Amino acid sequence: MATPPATGRTFRSLLSHADILRAPAAPVGYDETVPTPPLSNPDKVLFPAAGVTKAEVAAYYGAVAPVLVPHLRGRALTLRRFPDGVDGESFFEKRCPSHAPPWVQTVEVARSSGPPYRACAVEDRDTLLWLANLAALELHPSLALAAEPERPTVMVFDLDPGPPAGIPQCAEVACALREVLDRLGLRCVTKTSGSKGLQVYVPLAGGVDFDTTKLLSHTLGLILEKQLRPLVLTTMAKGERPGRVFIDWGQNDRAKTTVAVYSLRARPFPGVSTPVRWDEVEAAVGKERGVLEFSPAEVLERVSASGDLFASVLDEGQELPAEVTALLQPGTG
């Protein structure tokens, strides 16, 4: 039987359609006077264990839009849809649905074989609400802007724990990774996956390609695998995963997407991919499971108090140090 998050506060106790449109939303710029696209079946339950309806999901996305939309704008978006709720079947949808309203923006995505297709791009709050109506609970954008699909704007380290490891072990790895990046002169920020792990992002100025970010993230992962043996591994061997943290460097790929910051996650009690401060990550090391888990309403409270803790990903892109790019060139090192 599903249990509420470790905070002891369920989604519904914090987040009703009325509550979210009232106090938490206003400080992040939600305008109650703006008409919203109509919802079909607003009372349909999408999270049965928590009793959360489509209207509540739409309310969350409407409220968080001012900080979420900038992280999606101009990027091809893959939707993970749950038409029968999180207990039913789900599917990933890369192509923007043919029935999309004319005001929904799309971007062209090239394929390795075959003609290109058009993906949804979220440019405004109404698009988020339309996606909520499709039960697109999870939003997975590209790491590159559609205008420059070969040039990622971030390098990502997806820290995925194998039970019984959890976020405390991921926090230990994240802190060690930050130290390595600091020595390279690179700043990084982190967020929860909203599920069971952490994700460390290195903002980039866009001057490198995916081959470079994949090679560098793999190289740094191997350094941590040696430094934090046996906690860390960089291969996906299932038999070696229990109790360890897998650094998924392979996410740095044009064909891959990573769950968006502030996106809901399809768990019995909805999680959110939440930006966290480094002091919070440090405090999680050595703790019991259940730390750094946030409900949608808690996320809105955090945004109201602190703004977008992930904003540096958008406006503090950095060049890779010349010595690093030189070492990554074939035939060097």
CA-to-CA dists, residue 164 to 98, 288, 291, angstroms:
43, 11, 14
Look at residue 36 in the predicted model and tell me its pLDDT: 61
The reported pLDDT for the residue numbered 205 is 93
Whether the CB-CB separation of 265 and 194 falls below 8 Å is answered with yes
Tell me what the mean pLDDT of segment 238-263 comes to: 94
DSSP 55-88: HHHHHHHHHHHHHHHHHHTTS-EEEEE-TT-TTS
pLDDT, tens digit, for every residue of 147-206? 999 999 999 999 999 999 999 999 999 999 999 999 999 999 999 999 999 999 999 997
Alpha helices (H) along the chain: 11-14, 17-21, 54-72, 125-133, 167-183, 210-227, 278-284, 296-306, 312-315, 322-327
Residue 275 has a pLDDT of 98
Q: How confident is the model at residue 33 (pLDDT cuts 50, 70, 90)?
A: low
pLDDT at 67 > cutoff 80: yes
What percentage of the chain carries pLDDT values higher than 70? 88
Q: How many residues comprise the chain? A: 333
Q: Model pTM?
A: 0.89
Q: Rg of the chain's alpha carbons, rounded to an integer?
A: 20
For residues 218-222, average pLDDT: 96
Res. 32: pLDDT tops 80: no
